[in-house]
Amino acid sequence: MGAFFSRAYTICILLAYPVWVLVGQTPNTLKLQTGKEIFEAGCVSCHGLDGKGQAPSLQAFTRPSTFPDFTDCPGSTPEADVQWRAIITNGGPARGFSPIMPSFKDILTRDQIDKVIGYLRSFCTESKWPLGNLNVPRAIVTEKAFLEDEIVLTSNVNVQGSPGVSSSAIWEKRVGSGGQIEATVPYNFVHEQSWASGLGDIALGYKQKVFFSRKTQSLLTLGGEVTAPTGDPAKGTGGGSTIFEVFAAFGQVLPGASFLQFQTGTEQPAHPDKVPRAYYARTAVGKTFARDHGLGRAWTPIMELIADRDFIKGAVTNWSVIPELQIPLSKRLHVLAGIGLSLPINNISDRQKQLMFYLLWDFADGSLKEGWR
């Protein structure tokens, strides 16, 4: 810890300490009852009574670029309680933030920390924003119901049959409390008689929140996507037809850091003589395992079950299973990777096994240079 941050850390503690003395408690035996009382006793010296941060004239430190404003619903609601719990318990460095934020693990109990988090949630007075507790880990194929600000790079590699690699860059941006726009730009490598590569079919989409419940921990969104035939049919990189897709995505938080995601939809091409109409249903079930009693780096194994069927005579439903793992890369958990293997269950001779990857950057949580140590 540098001298500047050490000084700021000490000042925050000294500003808070007299309040603890006034209530007749030492830090190790602090017995404040409500989240508001605890916040006003130990947090206002830095975060201010209104949750926006202490007034500049009263600050004893230079405010970091990632300093939170708890009244800012777009910035405060996407974070899950466990993220805030980790920072309050172990300090800012626990998630790659400034050491100005001290650790309260020797001052507050787990119950008191949860009460503080509940009080922090009250600073956002707009209840229409889904909380980050509903933001479950990303599955490789199943569309997540939660609305995101992120960039995802994906790659699927055929490991059986004809060689080929399909890659995509996906940009997702939240719009208000209930919307998300999305753009997907694919680039494919295919091999028939020889290797060929080129731009695939670019897609633009929108997703809208329909329902969410903080009590039941569930979220439902509806979405649509238009895929333009920007690929090259001669190379096999796409370009068959414009496709209109509509879908529903549902997310459910389950006990024990587990979750369920479900997505179903249909694809309707403008030229069904070139590309068949299709229906799909996707389910993902996973469980997160985290170090340090759930407050450290988190790994998430996920199992997906995928079904799709073309609306043509004699077609059968194709079933696949994808065992996969989401891996944390940054300490802040805003840069993640995923790896999985797509395994056909039926029609094995006509479909290929694929090794699947993604690299995810949640840019709302900081730049790529931040949150690593």
* CA dihedral (52, 115, 289, 344) positive or negative: negative
User: What confidence score (pLDDT) does residue 236 get?
Assistant: 85
Question: What CATH architecture is 3-121?
Answer: Orthogonal Bundle (1.10)
User: What confidence score (pLDDT) does residue 57 get?
Assistant: 62
Which residues share a beta bridge with 249?
221, 263
User: What confidence score (pLDDT) does residue 259 get?
Assistant: 98
CA distance from start to end of the chain? 12
Spans in the chain with pLDDT lower than 70: 1-31, 56-66
Q: Where in the chain is the domain with CATH 1.10.760?
A: 3-121
d(CA 172, CA 158): 26
Of all residues in the chain, what percent are helix, strand and coil, respectively (each to 5)? 20, 35, 40
Cβ atoms 152, 95 nearer than 8 A: no
H runs (alpha helix) in the chain: 3-22, 35-42, 44-47, 73-76, 81-90, 110-121, 291-294
User: What confidence score (pLDDT) does residue 41 get?
Assistant: 87
User: What confidence score (pLDDT) does residue 114 get?
Assistant: 94
Residue in 12, 99, 1 with CA at minimum distance from that of residue 60: 12
d(CA 83, CA 115): 15
Question: What CATH architecture is 132-365?
Answer: Beta Barrel (2.40)
Q: Where in the chain is the domain with CATH 2.40.160.40?
A: 132-365
Helical pair 110-121 and 35-42, crossing angle rounded to 10 deg: 90
pTM of the model: 0.87
| DSSP letter, residue 282 | E
